[in-house]
Amino acid sequence: MTAVPITSAPVVYKPSDYRSDLKPIWCPGCGDFGVLAAIQQALAAAQINPKDLAVVSGIGCSSRLPGFLQTYGLHTVHGRALPAAIGLKTARPDLTVMAVGGDGDFFSIGLGHLPHAARRDLDITVVVMDNAIYGLTKGQTSPTSPRGHVTKSTPYGQSAQPLHPLAIVLASGASFVARGFSSQPKQLAELIKAGLAHRGFAFIHVLSPCVTFYDTYKLYKELVYNLPDTHDPSDLDAAMHYAVESERLPLGIFYRRPPLEPLPRPTPKPFDTQAYLNRFRA
């Protein structure tokens, strides 16, 4: 991430400066509107120059988000936002890189990439909009849907249990783990801002309901609560305890530790082809 001071910079970019001219394709009332607004708020708070930001996504309703931002975007194939973001960040450490998408992208088809992204601990801010349903394909069950969930693809009820995304990333070594709710955009913007400021892998799980195929607004409003002030985000055990909680849904920063220090590497020198080829002289 570019070294932009978070608090003392003069305000050059307003939240609206990060919006593109494209009209979101989301249904009216979709939670993703709140997430988009919170991302814009967080970017403006961090005063990140839109030209130095790249937002990478996969496939799904929420993965269309990069197109709605006036920043660089890479709208990839289903499930593959994280490896593309890792390649981009490795090649261009000067850029601020975000990866965004939904529960299908990050917890189903692309789940295999998530622990590896977490354990690499690169400076990437991940925002997963979890609606516990496949919206773009019109209403099939997802890996975070509850057991017994009746959908078009599970007419007799989903037999599997939902997975715990935050527990997966915690177990994999993520250095920043948080959860927000699209209906609480102010708190969500704060969490994303903190994720952007974090120099390692920042994972922000967002409850972002689908009004059309699985309307959980009422349910989530009943279940969510803020992590207590007494919670110590450096306490991995405590973070894990909250991460597997399913009766209620805690919000806030679950876990935060300093990112990994890079290992020593040789001092780069320009490549000299002839010198290299001389190794192979007969």
Binding site for another protein (CB under 8 A): 21-22, 49-54, 56, 66-67, 70-77, 80, 82-92, 94-95, 112-113, 116, 265-266, 268-271, 273-274, 276-277, 280-282
Q: Could you give the CA distance from residue 197 to residue 171 in angstroms, rounded to a whole number?
A: 22
Least distance to another protein, CB of residue 103, Å: 19
Output the CA angle 7-253-6, nearest 5 degrees.
10
Helices 31-46 & 185-197 angle (0-180, nearest 10)? 50
Strands 133-134 and 202-207: unpaired
Least distance to another protein, CB of residue 66, Å: 5
Residues with Cβ within 8 Å of 235's Cβ and at least 6 positions away in sequence, in order, are: 255
Closest listed residue to residue 72, CA positions, set 43, 46, 107, 45: 43
Q: Are the beta carbons of 126 and 98 closer than 8 angstroms?
A: yes
Q: Which is nearer to another protein, 15 or 50 (CB)?
A: 50
Q: Which is nearer to another protein, 69 or 132 (CB)?
A: 69
Least distance to another protein, CB of residue 229, Å: 38
Q: Which is nearer to another protein, 7 or 16 (CB)?
A: 16
DSSP H helices in 154-279: 165-171, 185-197, 217-223, 236-243, 273-277
Q: Which is nearer to another protein, 14 or 116 (CB)?
A: 116
Residue with tokens 């803020």: 226
Q: Which is nearer to another protein, 9 or 77 (CB)?
A: 77
> b/e string for 158-197 if b means 16 or more Cβ within 10 A?
beeebebbbbbbbebbbbbbbbbbbbbbebbbbbbbbbbb
Least distance to another protein, CB of residue 264, Å: 10
Q: Which is nearer to another protein, 9 or 150 (CB)?
A: 9
Q: Which is nearer to another protein, 119 or 231 (CB)?
A: 119
33's tokens: 């509107």
Least distance to another protein, CB of residue 52, Å: 6
Q: Which is nearer to another protein, 53 or 207 (CB)?
A: 53
Least distance to another protein, CB of residue 18, Å: 10
Least distance to another protein, CB of residue 237, Å: 27
Q: Which string of DSSP letters, residue by residue, matches 20-51?
A: -SPPP-SPTT-HHHHHHHHHHHHHHHHT--GG
Q: Which amino acid is at 222?
A: E
Least distance to another protein, CB of residue 259, Å: 18
166's tokens: 């935050």
